[in-house]
Amino acid sequence: AQWDRLNGEHPEDEWAQQWGRAYVEFAAGEKRAWLQEQGVKFTPLVGWAERGDGRAGGHGNSVPRFHVPWGTGTGVSEPFADKARSASESGLVRFFFRHQVDGLVFDGGTVTGVRGTVLAPDQSPRGVASNRDKVGEFELHAEAVVIATGGIGGNHEEVRKWWPQRLGTAPRKMITGVPKHVDGRMLGIADEAGVRLVNRDRMWHYTEGIQNWNPIWPDHAIRILPGPSSMWFDALGRRLPAPGLPGYDTLGTLRLLRTTPDIQQYDHSWFILNQKIIEKEFALSGSEQNPDITNRDLKLLLRTRLGRGAGAPIEAFKDHGADFVVADTLAGLVSGMNGLTEEPLLDYRQLHRQIMERDAEIQNPYSKDAQVIGIRNSRRFLGDRLFRTVRPHRILDPAAGPMIAVRLHIVTRKTLGGIQTDLTGQAFAKDGSTIPGLYAAGEAAGFGGGGAHGYNALEGTFLGGCIFTGRTVGRSLAGRL
């Protein structure tokens, strides 16, 4: 996590570190049982995401620990949404749709409510920007206000504004991994009201993004959740060095792509693989891309994950995706890849040499290639051996074809910093005092204390952090009000 902002009058990591420890204790203790009590269930598949930077004491997961809920995201949200609907029907909860908050209401130094604009009705589909036509104003009062409005991933201008120098040059072109409404607007309102926001330069953006051929929101990105066998190349066709390997080190790879001088101007990289790899190792983010898990269909899950061929969502991207190139030969593949960029940047001979070098190490029973070593290590885990890691083979083997290339973009996603809160979720003012009546939870609070993850994440801790901070704030308010 590297909580290194612990000095000064009001250190930014003071409460983030405490929230990080509290979350780990929750995860190691009652989390699973409590979620099951709420109705959240998990698939038998445990993923091994974010495998690390290759150092024993470095960043990353030393064991598989990415748990996937039945129903994907809706499987997590539905039990809580159902409780909210029931509370609404019994008069305990009131929803105010089309009410845009423009400011916090203070009485002295205490937050007593919110004010804003009533917007005209709108029947736009999910994820599509709705109208902002003003039809009235409102002011609501309560004993407590909780900010749980997410981060800045849907606002590329804000992402570039807070992009840290340590991650190099911000991309000119990014694609969006969150809906349009995740724009950071409420964070700006809180900041203007005197709320303390910390660690705003800490972000978690992915490097394996592809453009959704069937988008739900503008610039809709899908992230590839890769197995370990695809070869990764920069925009000029050079193989990324370890830990720039699929599924290993998200920010390390992002830093490599954005700080290497002769590729900073390019906003893409490449996977090169073959049909045999894509069939077993490609998974896609998003509930729509995982109908077997989203629909809780065990038979479809086993047929999709253990059967022959790639799943229907993967094949749809192969057929329709703007970032996919398929060819029978490497020469044809390189020609297609060069056709997707403004100028031809890739040299067939350079790519052929690098792939041949890798393929030679597959035939070596010992191997000095870090990626090949990682593939073999991955297959020691039964879950990966069965579902996520193909048997080692030569990428240029015609029997494993056709060959496939995927152009990868930077995907905006998580905001790791946010509103600084104490361990009850109460927000701090800029002078370091707590603000009576104001709380924050989820991504808006940096998943706890304004940055519970520090600089990095292990995956699986984002939804967990939202649940934990929300539960903590709810219990705190139930005990106080």
Alpha helix stretches (DSSP H) within 339-445: 348-362, 370-378, 382-387
What pLDDT score was predicted for residue 465? 96
**What is the number of other CB atoms lying within 10 angstroms of the CB of residue 4?**
12
Determine the pLDDT at residue 2. 86
**Could you tell me how many residues make up the chain?**
481
Residue 3 included in any domain: no
The two three-digit tokens of residue 393, written as one number: 């083979």
Strands (DSSP E) found in 367-468: 403-415, 418-419, 426-428, 434-440
Position 52 scores a pLDDT of: 93
- CATH code, 399: 3.90.700.10
Same domain, 120 and 166: yes
Q: From the centroid of its chain, how far is CA 122?
A: 29
CA distance 61 to 49: 7
Counted domains in the chain = 2
- Are 247 and 386 found together in one domain? yes
Instruction: Say what the pLDDT of residue 420 is.
Output: 99
Tell me which residue range forms the domain holding 64.
14-204+412-480
Which residue, 355, 378, 411, sits at the end of a domain? Answer: 411
Asked whether residue 298 is assigned to any structural domain, the reply reads yes
Same domain, 168 and 270: no
Whether residue 265 lies inside any domain: the answer is yes
Q: Which residues of the chain have pLDDT under 70?
A: none
Q: What is the pTM of this model?
A: 0.95
